[in-house]
Chains A and B, each alone.
Chain A
């Protein structure tokens, strides 16, 4: 009787269980909606996840993280500031027009034009100019030797010049056309984005005929969607969510160590941490293994430096500070800093429990720590403001999305950078030299010395390499990558 009632209710409201989904559509639950469909505007993770399936990029990374061809087939430096790209000639945009070198030049000129007000400008503003130098060739000039150029170009989506010029920036953002494996079918703001396969895609027909990206802010709801088959894959889960899902029969978890490093910023220019001994003592007071096992449930890998192995410039042989509370206590005594107040500034964007664990660890070695929580813009304003206002300590999760040390320790610790609360001419010389040469071996040597200085001076403490966690249907084949790429083209049912 109850079953019949249930069936009647289900029929009346037209909501039969959603398990019977067409298998050729992949449904993805994302924490948020796409902000802009135009790949040259916003680049928050949700927008990035969606529009990268619509566009091709000049270069891309393979699963191992190596930079490999996409629109460009080959490239060579003709001098330290000039690089020539050979392009494919068989790529068509979704409107049938051919992708030409002019589109590549236009894409570079557009994103580097301040009038577009692109938040991504700072990633490309080392490019001085680009020009078409052959029927399938583009030449790029950088302002100075710029070793991170290729890593940045992985993020350069190629937009169609003729179409963008015809409809204008605003209309393009509403109805984008790319050359990627999927085309935009409909975009219901705040609800979902529907993509359909580009059957004539140059790398071959996509496995999934359609993709739906849904905006579901609450992680408990995303998990419920997965459990009822309403969605096939989701991301943005916490380690606790992951542990709770380990025994779901129809679902599987997949995690990958990313290029995002969790670290503690230590103010070397103001407050009690101005004393190097206090900074070193803090480094010895932190018990990474406990943080990883208790807070991250094992979803993290410890790192001695403020960089991950997924980045170029990572040096494994620079020693970390061992966890040694007794030594830390002695050093604090020696510095006369017993009972000194360490002010820790933070925002709700960061794991509250980690702040509290650090507080406990510092109090164990004789310091006091006050935690000030503020909203993200206020936190950033203080953190990026004067050393006196930036607090003594804060938690950070850093990813340059370029997998290069230059995008991490240069902005974090180079004097003059808004993030840096540290001055050291020797360090500055090393990171400056590392960004002025294209020779990988020399760059590595510079970074090695730079990390040794950072180890001794402790303007920051590397905690762990963050992991991205995905929950998906057991039948879905998907290999996550360190740069958190989400290419539906690379997924299929097993």
Chain B
């Protein structure tokens, strides 16, 4: 088990390094930020002077080596746009991102899993068809549109919720709904398939034969068996929620790392982008590792196999 974790950790670090390398070079190949920073009308000498001061006139491999050297000392550098330590800039956004991802995950799981179970159990009824429509809508509505609709309904027309910003729980509700909708649909569909798959097995028939009601059989036996694929989805979903919040954060002016990432990409604030990417890839890797461990907890066969 420990060997397994160590090898997964090794892979994880390698993957993060690969992502970082790709981002480092792609960002720089498409132009440095000097031209975005200088006022209109700056002369070539002035542009080159600023480029030299910022260090972007050095060969790329040297810039990369210098960056890795700093990173090895846990020095994430200074944002060239905001002129403040990058670590602080990214760290300030993380609580907001975690809050939004948690809210969205709550929406996704809290609605998605029960909906999936009901769709499986009530297969072929009007209830399944109604829920299927709901799930399809969650999956298909783009967040930049559903977000604006939510704002218009709950913010402008009803006046129940704040239209933008990050002032406590109330501000979190609409972004969580908008962001959680897609994940909710994924959970509902995966749960439905997993539960349907289990319902056709012999142990369910055996449980019913022992006198358990259909509900007791589902709660007592089916759900645990159906959990493995759902946990996998949950792990992937956390990564998606962190990385995919860009649009939701922009629409609701929610100050998470998605918004920071897009702004930093636009202004070519390299060090901030790299740190955000590093953080997101580490979270991705960590949640997948966690999912691996959870399997073993849920399903003893995996534990023994390992």
Residues of A within 8 A of B (CB): 6, 9-10, 13-15, 17-18, 29, 32-33, 35-36, 38, 41-43, 114-115, 117, 119-123, 125, 169-170, 173-174, 188-192, 214-218, 220-222, 224-225, 227-228, 230, 375-378, 380-381, 384, 398-401, 407-408, 410-412, 417-419
Contact = CB atoms under 8 A, between A and B. Distances in A.
Contacts of B22: none
A441 B44 CA distance: 30
Contacts of B82: 35-36, 42, 189
Interface residues on B, range: 35 or more
A377 B166 contact: no
Contacts of A14: 168-170
Contacts, number: 169
Interface stretch (B12-20, B47-55, B113-121, B129-137): B47-55
A178 to B, nearest CB: 17
Given A117-B50, A216-B253, A15 B151 contact: no
B38 interface: yes
B162 A230 contact: yes
Contacts of B38: 119, 122
B148 interface: yes
A220 B169 contact: no
B198 interface: no
A110 B48 CA distance: 20
Q: Which of B31, B39, B44, B268 has the most CB of A within 10 A?
A: B39
Contact of A43 (B39, B92, B161, B253): B39
Interface string B1-43: 0000000000000000000000000000011110111111111
Contacts of A222: 164
Given A32-B263, A120-B39, A190-B92, A221 B252 contact: yes
B186 interface: no
B255 A191 contact: yes
A380 B31 contact: yes
Contacts of A125: 46
Contacts of B46: 121-122, 125
B251 interface: yes
15 contacts: A13-B160, A14-B168, A15-B160, A36-B82, A122-B42, A122-B43, A169-B83, A218-B253, A220-B151, A221-B163, A375-B30, A380-B36, A401-B39, A411-B41, A417-B44
Contacts of B53: 114-115, 117
Contacts of A417: 41, 43-44
Contact of B152 (A35, A174, A224, A381): A224
